[in-house]
Copies of this chain bind each other. A is one copy, B any other.
């Protein structure tokens, strides 16, 4: 224990070294749990026994329970009184609910960003698109399944692009909701993408470029429609993947 606490202390004094160092054990538990649930390390519906988590993460009950309580309100974890926690189940219905809610939130946020966005906002979008594009071009011609690391790097760039679009919406809540809903959609997208070729029948890069172009042209309605279609297509592909299998 002492070693861990000291490591945390050092990290907090040395913020430049590791940009997102986790300070407390509860924060560590939160991030690792969330990451493992999103990545599908834990099956949907699986009970999250505290003793198991304690051994896996090397933490004590208290920080684990604090993290699980947070994840409960974020819909990643289910809590039953006196019966512990479990991974929130997934279903096609839930997948569509996340997708549609996310579309609602992000379309509104995009519209507001288009209304308020300044030069920095535009530059941020162009930069994020370019970084995403580079990553796609690097990975696409490999002609093989992507590794977890490659997939996760791509996911980060993807999220940063969508985040840049709505950055100037002026609402903390919309941005926050967008982040949360993004995490929820990852639960569906990552398993569907794992072990797949980087390029399917779909030209995602082109969809992104279209969204960016309409956004920079300040064409709200068109940008919103393209964004909504972008998410809808992803959902349809995921649904097609989920339907034949057990899910």
Contact = CB atoms under 8 A, between A and B. Distances in A.
Contact of A70 (B70, B81, B98): B70
B171 A82 contact: no
Q: Chain A: interface residue count, which band?
A: 20 to 34
Contacts of A97: 171-173
Contact of A81 (B24, B65, B98, B100): B24
Nearest to A66: B69
* Copies per assembly: 2
Given A23-B81, A82-B24, A101 B171 contact: yes
A241 interface: no
A100 B170 CA distance: 11
Contact of A104 (B12, B27, B98, B108): B108
A66 to B, nearest CB: 5
Contacts of A101: 171, 173-174, 177
Contact of A66 (B66, B100, B174): B66
A72 interface: yes
A73 interface: yes
* Best-buried of A23, A70, A98 by chain B (most CB within 10 Å): A70
B173 A26 contact: no
A155 interface: no
Interface in A61-101: 62, 65-67, 69-70, 72-75, 81-82, 94, 97-98, 100-101
A29 to B, nearest CB: 11
B65 A98 contact: no
Contact of A72 (B65, B70, B94): B70
Interface of A: 12, 23-24, 26-27, 62, 65-67, 69-70, 72-75, 81-82, 94, 97-98, 100-101, 104-105, 108, 171-174, 177
15 contacts: A12-B81, A23-B81, A24-B81, A24-B82, A66-B69, A67-B69, A70-B73, A94-B172, A97-B172, A100-B171, A101-B171, A101-B173, A101-B177, A104-B105, A104-B108
